[in-house]
């Protein structure tokens, strides 16, 4: 049986100054019990990536940027290059978050460029995908997810998939307090794993981690993590407090 190490990721979005972020990072580190079966990742805003990465040195917590550009340098105002992310002490980047898609108009094509640029720069990429409520109600969730996954991974070969983590985040569950039920989430995760098996090979499908995101809280993390195809979580709101994120990390 394939064992996939759980990834418990916190996305701080546009929250935290340097002092608050370093304090939260230290408090989260204090909650980590040094398990072998899970990894912890924090994604602070760009401005404090260095400080937080530095504060976490030697604590076994991965840091990630919340986006990454496909170019190495140049006239790309507002962007961050893969080398800048690494220079700030991070080894990963989130790409394709629904807020980037919905608020800032990032397309599947642009997200694919970010995925490939981040991979070329040696980063672990968390590729987020998810359907809107309208798409789910119109019975289009699986079509939309398939398109986002296929287009997001276009040109990424099976060998590169060890540096890719997929995050399924239904848009209707992000920041709304509405979580997908464990059955709804498991159904989508199983579908995505099957799709990875069709795009690549079974061993890629078996080893790729698929995270769930959307109002994950201490109260629902255990049942979500008990699902066979849920390999971790991407957490927004509940990652902003060390006690709630600590309870999520320490799921049973």
Name the one range near ligand PEP by CB under 6 A: 39-47, 60-68, 111-119, 233-241.
233-241
Active site residue 72: no
Which of 58, 60, 17 shows the shortest CA–CA distance to 42?
60
Q: Is 164 left (phi over 0), alpha (psi -120 to 50) or beta?
A: beta
Which listed residue (174, 211, 221, 230) binds ligand PEP by CB under 6 A? Answer: 174
Active-site residue among 39, 99, 131, 169? 169
Q: Looking at 39, 51, 97, 135, which residue is catalytic?
A: 97
Q: Toward ligand PEP, which CB reaches closer, 224 or 234?
A: 234
Which of 43/204 has CB closer to ligand PEP? 43
Contact characters 116-155, ligand PEP, x per CB under 6 A: ----------------------------------------
- DSSP state string for 165-226: EEEE--GGGTTSSPPPPHHHHHHHHHHHHHHHHHHS-HHHHHHSEEEEESS--HHHHHHHHT
Q: Is 169 a catalytic residue?
A: yes
Q: Does residue 44 interact with ligand PEP by CB under 6 A?
A: no
CB 126 within 8 A of CB 95: yes
Q: Which of residues 3-42 bind ligand PEP (CB under 6 A)?
A: 11
| Nearest residue to ligand PEP, scored by beta-carbon proximity | 236
Q: Exposed, middle or buried by CB within 10 Å (0-12, 13-18, 19+), for 218?
A: middle
Closest CA relative to residue 174, chosen from 225, 237, 233, 244: 237
Which residue has 């935290």 as its token pair? 16
Q: Is 96 in the site for ligand PEP (CB under 6 A)?
A: no
| Contacts to ligand PEP by CB under 6 A | 11, 169, 174-175, 213-216, 234-238
């Amino acid at each position: 049986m394939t064992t996939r190490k759980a990834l418990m990721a916190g996305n701080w979005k546009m929250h935290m100054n340097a002092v608050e972020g370093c304090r939260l990072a230290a408090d989260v580190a204090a909650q980590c019990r040094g398990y072998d079966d899970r990894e912890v990742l924090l994604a602070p805003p760009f401005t404090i990536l260095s400080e937080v990465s530095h504060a976490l040195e030697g604590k076994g917590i991965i840091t990630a940027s919340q986006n990454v550009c496909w170019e190495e340098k140049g006239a790309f105002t507002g962007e961050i290059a893969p080398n800048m992310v690494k220079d700030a002490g991070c080894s990963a980047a989130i790409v394709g978050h629904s807020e980037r898609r919905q608020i800032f108009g990032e397309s599947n094509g642009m997200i694919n460029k970010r995925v490939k640029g981040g991979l070329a720069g040696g980063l672990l990429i968390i590729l987020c995908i998810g359907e809107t409520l309208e798409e789910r109600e119109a019975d289009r969730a699986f079509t939309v997810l398939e398109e986002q996954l296929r287009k997001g991974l276009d040109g990424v070969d099976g060998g590169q998939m060890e540096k890719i983590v997929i995050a399924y985040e239904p848009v209707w569950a992000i920041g709304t307090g509405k979580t997908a039920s464990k059955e709804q989430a498991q159904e989508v995760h199983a579908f995505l794993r099957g799709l990875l098996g069709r795009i690549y090979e079974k061993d890629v499908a078996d080893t790729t981690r698929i995270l769930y995101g959307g109002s994950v809280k201490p109260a629902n993390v255990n049942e979500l993590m008990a699902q066979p195809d849920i390999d971790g979580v991407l957490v927004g709101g509940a990652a902003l407090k060390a006690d709630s994120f600590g309870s999520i990390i320490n799921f049973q």
